[in-house]
A and B are shown apart, each in its own frame.
Chain A
Amino acid sequence: DADVTQTPRNRITKTGKRIMLECSQTKGHDRMYWYRQDPGLGLRLIYYSFDVKDINKGEISDGYSVSRQAQAKFSLSLESAIPNQTALYFCATSLGRDTQYFGPGTRLTVL
Protein backbone atom coordinates (compact mmCIF):
# COMPACT_ATOMS: atom_id res chain seq x y z
CA ASP A 1 0.00 0.00 0.00
CA ALA A 2 1.67 3.23 -1.16
CA ASP A 3 0.12 5.10 1.77
CA VAL A 4 2.52 3.30 4.11
CA THR A 5 6.18 3.47 3.15
CA GLN A 6 9.21 1.81 4.69
CA THR A 7 12.89 2.60 4.28
CA PRO A 8 15.18 0.95 3.53
CA ARG A 9 13.57 -1.91 1.59
CA ASN A 10 16.62 -4.10 1.97
CA ARG A 11 19.51 -3.90 4.40
CA ILE A 12 22.51 -6.07 5.11
CA THR A 13 24.43 -5.33 8.29
CA LYS A 14 26.93 -6.94 10.64
CA THR A 15 26.54 -8.27 14.14
CA GLY A 16 26.78 -5.52 16.74
CA LYS A 17 25.84 -2.67 14.44
CA ARG A 18 23.04 -0.25 15.23
CA ILE A 19 20.34 -0.02 12.61
CA MET A 20 17.15 1.97 12.21
CA LEU A 21 14.15 1.09 10.10
CA GLU A 22 11.73 3.87 9.27
CA CYS A 23 8.03 3.94 8.55
CA SER A 24 5.93 6.82 7.27
CA GLN A 25 2.23 6.99 6.52
CA THR A 26 -0.07 9.42 4.77
CA LYS A 27 -3.30 7.69 5.80
CA GLY A 28 -3.88 9.95 8.79
CA HIS A 29 -4.06 6.95 11.09
CA ASP A 30 -3.37 7.33 14.78
CA ARG A 31 -2.02 3.87 15.54
CA MET A 32 1.18 2.34 14.20
CA TYR A 33 2.77 -1.09 14.63
CA TRP A 34 5.98 -2.96 13.96
CA TYR A 35 5.95 -6.67 13.16
CA ARG A 36 8.56 -9.18 12.10
CA GLN A 37 7.85 -12.08 9.79
CA ASP A 38 9.70 -15.37 9.98
CA PRO A 39 8.93 -18.38 7.78
CA GLY A 40 6.24 -20.58 9.32
CA LEU A 41 5.70 -18.24 12.26
CA GLY A 42 3.50 -15.63 10.63
CA LEU A 43 3.85 -12.07 11.86
CA ARG A 44 4.73 -11.27 15.45
CA LEU A 45 4.16 -7.90 17.08
CA ILE A 46 7.27 -6.05 18.27
CA TYR A 47 5.90 -2.66 19.38
CA TYR A 48 2.79 -0.62 18.84
CA SER A 49 1.88 3.01 19.39
CA PHE A 50 -1.54 4.54 19.94
CA ASP A 51 -0.22 8.07 19.47
CA VAL A 52 3.00 10.03 19.82
CA LYS A 53 3.05 9.72 23.60
CA ASP A 54 1.77 6.18 23.93
CA ILE A 55 4.14 3.33 23.04
CA ASN A 56 3.66 -0.27 24.09
CA LYS A 57 5.68 -3.47 23.93
CA GLY A 58 4.43 -6.34 21.84
CA GLU A 59 5.18 -10.02 22.26
CA ILE A 60 8.82 -9.91 21.10
CA SER A 61 10.21 -6.48 22.06
CA ASP A 62 13.56 -7.63 23.53
CA GLY A 63 16.47 -6.28 21.50
CA TYR A 64 14.35 -3.60 19.85
CA SER A 65 13.37 -0.01 20.60
CA VAL A 66 11.04 2.42 18.85
CA SER A 67 10.44 6.11 18.45
CA ARG A 68 7.23 7.85 17.36
CA GLN A 69 8.60 11.12 16.06
CA ALA A 70 5.25 12.34 14.78
CA GLN A 71 1.82 10.90 14.14
CA ALA A 72 2.98 9.89 10.67
CA LYS A 73 6.40 8.45 11.57
CA PHE A 74 7.37 5.39 13.58
CA SER A 75 10.95 4.09 13.66
CA LEU A 76 12.28 0.74 14.82
CA SER A 77 15.86 0.45 16.09
CA LEU A 78 18.11 -2.49 16.71
CA GLU A 79 20.74 -1.17 19.11
CA SER A 80 23.14 -4.07 18.57
CA ALA A 81 21.99 -6.33 15.77
CA ILE A 82 22.36 -10.11 16.06
CA PRO A 83 21.90 -12.80 13.39
CA ASN A 84 18.58 -14.09 14.75
CA GLN A 85 17.10 -10.68 14.03
CA THR A 86 17.38 -11.50 10.34
CA ALA A 87 13.78 -11.29 9.16
CA LEU A 88 11.25 -9.36 7.13
CA TYR A 89 9.96 -6.35 9.06
CA PHE A 90 6.58 -4.76 8.48
CA CYS A 91 5.08 -1.52 9.63
CA ALA A 92 1.29 -1.24 9.86
CA THR A 93 -1.19 1.51 10.65
CA SER A 94 -4.81 1.66 11.75
CA LEU A 95 -7.44 4.21 12.58
CA GLY A 96 -8.30 3.32 16.11
CA ARG A 97 -9.17 -0.35 16.39
CA ASP A 98 -10.08 -0.65 12.73
CA THR A 99 -8.31 -2.70 10.07
CA GLN A 100 -4.51 -2.58 9.98
CA TYR A 101 -2.82 -1.67 6.69
CA PHE A 102 0.73 -2.76 5.99
CA GLY A 103 3.77 -1.27 4.34
CA PRO A 104 5.86 -3.12 1.75
CA GLY A 105 8.34 -4.48 4.28
CA THR A 106 12.07 -4.24 4.96
CA ARG A 107 14.24 -7.30 4.45
CA LEU A 108 16.99 -7.22 7.07
CA THR A 109 19.99 -9.55 7.05
CA VAL A 110 22.39 -9.58 9.99
CA LEU A 111 25.67 -11.33 9.23
Chain B
Amino acid sequence: AQSVAQPEDQVNVAEGNPLTVKCTYSVSGNPYLFWYVQYPNRGLQFLLKYITGDNLVKGSYGFEAEFNKSQTSFHLKKPSALVSDSALYFCAVRDIATAGNKLTFGGGTRVLVKP
Protein backbone atom coordinates (compact mmCIF):
# COMPACT_ATOMS: atom_id res chain seq x y z
CA ALA B 1 0.00 0.00 0.00
CA GLN B 2 1.13 3.55 -0.59
CA SER B 3 0.33 6.61 1.50
CA VAL B 4 1.20 10.28 1.80
CA ALA B 5 1.15 12.56 4.81
CA GLN B 6 1.11 16.34 4.78
CA PRO B 7 1.41 17.15 8.47
CA GLU B 8 0.44 20.82 8.24
CA ASP B 9 -3.08 21.89 7.35
CA GLN B 10 -1.92 25.44 6.82
CA VAL B 11 1.36 27.30 6.46
CA ASN B 12 1.58 31.04 6.96
CA VAL B 13 4.56 32.97 5.65
CA ALA B 14 5.41 36.58 5.00
CA GLU B 15 6.04 37.65 1.43
CA GLY B 16 9.73 37.43 0.58
CA ASN B 17 10.42 34.76 3.20
CA PRO B 18 11.27 31.14 2.39
CA LEU B 19 8.35 28.77 2.00
CA THR B 20 8.42 25.07 2.89
CA VAL B 21 5.52 22.62 2.56
CA LYS B 22 6.19 19.23 4.12
CA CYS B 23 5.40 15.82 2.67
CA THR B 24 6.30 12.32 3.80
CA TYR B 25 5.39 9.14 1.99
CA SER B 26 5.25 5.39 2.35
CA VAL B 27 5.58 2.89 -0.47
CA SER B 28 6.72 -0.70 -0.59
CA GLY B 29 9.03 -0.12 -3.54
CA ASN B 30 10.55 2.95 -5.15
CA PRO B 31 8.44 6.11 -5.36
CA TYR B 32 7.42 8.49 -8.05
CA LEU B 33 6.58 11.76 -6.26
CA PHE B 34 4.58 14.76 -7.42
CA TRP B 35 3.51 18.20 -6.26
CA TYR B 36 0.37 19.87 -7.51
CA VAL B 37 -1.09 23.29 -6.70
CA GLN B 38 -4.76 24.27 -6.66
CA TYR B 39 -5.71 27.93 -6.91
CA PRO B 40 -9.22 28.99 -5.85
CA ASN B 41 -11.90 27.72 -8.22
CA ARG B 42 -9.29 26.08 -10.40
CA GLY B 43 -8.17 22.53 -11.10
CA LEU B 44 -4.90 21.05 -9.96
CA GLN B 45 -1.83 22.28 -11.76
CA PHE B 46 1.28 20.14 -12.00
CA LEU B 47 4.33 21.74 -10.33
CA LEU B 48 7.10 19.14 -10.39
CA LYS B 49 7.94 15.48 -10.06
CA TYR B 50 10.70 13.18 -8.89
CA ILE B 51 11.26 10.01 -10.86
CA THR B 52 14.94 9.27 -10.50
CA GLY B 53 18.28 11.00 -10.57
CA ASP B 54 19.12 14.25 -8.81
CA ASN B 55 17.43 14.54 -5.43
CA LEU B 56 16.74 18.25 -5.96
CA VAL B 57 13.97 18.76 -8.48
CA LYS B 58 13.14 22.14 -9.97
CA GLY B 59 9.64 22.94 -11.18
CA SER B 60 7.30 25.69 -12.25
CA TYR B 61 6.96 29.17 -10.69
CA GLY B 62 10.32 28.95 -8.89
CA PHE B 63 9.40 25.94 -6.77
CA GLU B 64 11.73 23.08 -6.01
CA ALA B 65 11.53 19.91 -3.95
CA GLU B 66 14.11 17.69 -2.32
CA PHE B 67 13.77 13.94 -2.30
CA ASN B 68 15.18 12.35 0.85
CA LYS B 69 15.01 8.58 0.72
CA SER B 70 16.24 7.96 4.25
CA GLN B 71 13.60 10.27 5.71
CA THR B 72 10.96 9.27 3.11
CA SER B 73 10.27 12.94 2.52
CA PHE B 74 9.65 15.19 -0.46
CA HIS B 75 9.32 18.73 0.89
CA LEU B 76 8.33 21.56 -1.44
CA LYS B 77 10.33 24.78 -1.18
CA LYS B 78 10.49 28.26 -2.57
CA PRO B 79 13.27 30.65 -1.57
CA SER B 80 11.13 33.79 -1.65
CA ALA B 81 7.34 33.48 -1.40
CA LEU B 82 4.91 35.70 -3.28
CA VAL B 83 1.37 36.64 -2.31
CA SER B 84 0.26 34.90 -5.51
CA ASP B 85 1.64 31.61 -4.14
CA SER B 86 -1.30 31.47 -1.75
CA ALA B 87 -3.09 28.27 -2.71
CA LEU B 88 -3.72 24.65 -1.73
CA TYR B 89 -0.78 22.31 -2.31
CA PHE B 90 -0.98 18.55 -2.73
CA CYS B 91 1.76 15.98 -2.57
CA ALA B 92 1.16 12.66 -4.36
CA VAL B 93 3.01 9.36 -4.63
CA ARG B 94 2.97 6.35 -6.88
CA ASP B 95 4.86 3.16 -6.25
CA ILE B 96 6.88 2.35 -9.36
CA ALA B 97 5.72 -1.25 -9.04
CA THR B 98 2.03 -0.31 -8.88
CA ALA B 99 -0.02 -1.51 -11.82
CA GLY B 100 -1.58 1.29 -13.73
CA ASN B 101 -0.85 4.85 -12.73
CA LYS B 102 -2.70 5.21 -9.44
CA LEU B 103 -1.66 8.24 -7.46
CA THR B 104 -2.24 8.57 -3.75
CA PHE B 105 -2.67 12.15 -2.58
CA GLY B 106 -2.01 13.79 0.74
CA GLY B 107 -4.74 15.79 2.42
CA GLY B 108 -3.38 19.10 1.17
CA THR B 109 -1.68 22.07 2.80
CA ARG B 110 -3.10 25.54 2.49
CA VAL B 111 -0.44 28.19 2.04
CA LEU B 112 -1.17 31.78 2.97
CA VAL B 113 1.43 34.36 2.01
CA LYS B 114 0.88 37.71 3.71
CA PRO B 115 2.08 40.99 2.23
Cross-interface CB contact of B106 among A4, A42, A94, A102, cutoff 8 Å: A42
Contacts A48-B101, A48-B102: A40 and B107 contacting too (C-beta < 8 A)?
yes
**Distance, CA A105 to CA B39, complexed state (A):** 12
Contact B100 A105 (CB under 8 A): no
Contacts A56-B100, A104-B42: A99 and B34 contacting too (C-beta < 8 A)?
yes
The proximity string for B residues 47-86 relative to A, scoring 1 for CB distances below 8 Å and 0 otherwise, is: 0010000000000000000000000000000000000000
The proximity string for A residues 15-44 relative to B, scoring 1 for CB distances below 8 Å and 0 otherwise, is: 000000000000000010100000011111
Number of A-B contacts (CB under 8 A): 55
**Distance, CA A97 to CA B95, complexed state (A):** 11
B-side contacts of A48, CB under 8 Å:
100-102
B: number of interface residues (CB 8 Å): 21
A-side contacts of B9, CB under 8 Å:
40
A-side contacts of B108, CB under 8 Å:
40, 42
Contact B101 A100 (CB under 8 A): yes
Residue of B nearest to A107 (CB): B41
- Tell whether A62 is near chain B: CB-to-CB under 8 Å: no
**Distance, CA A50 to CA B99, complexed state (A):** 11
A-side contacts of B105, CB under 8 Å:
42-44
Residue of A nearest to B94 (CB): A97
Instruction: Find residues 81-111 in chain A having any chain B CB closer than 8 Å to their own CB.
Output: 90, 92, 94, 96-105
Contacts A40-B107, A42-B107, A102-B36: A97 and B43 contacting too (C-beta < 8 A)?
no
Cross-interface CB contact of A94 among B36, B45, B101, cutoff 8 Å: B101
Contact B43 A103 (CB under 8 A): yes
A40 to chain B, nearest CB (A): 5
List residues of A whose CB falls within 8 A of some B CB.
1, 4, 31, 33, 40-45, 48, 50, 56, 58, 90, 92, 94, 96-105
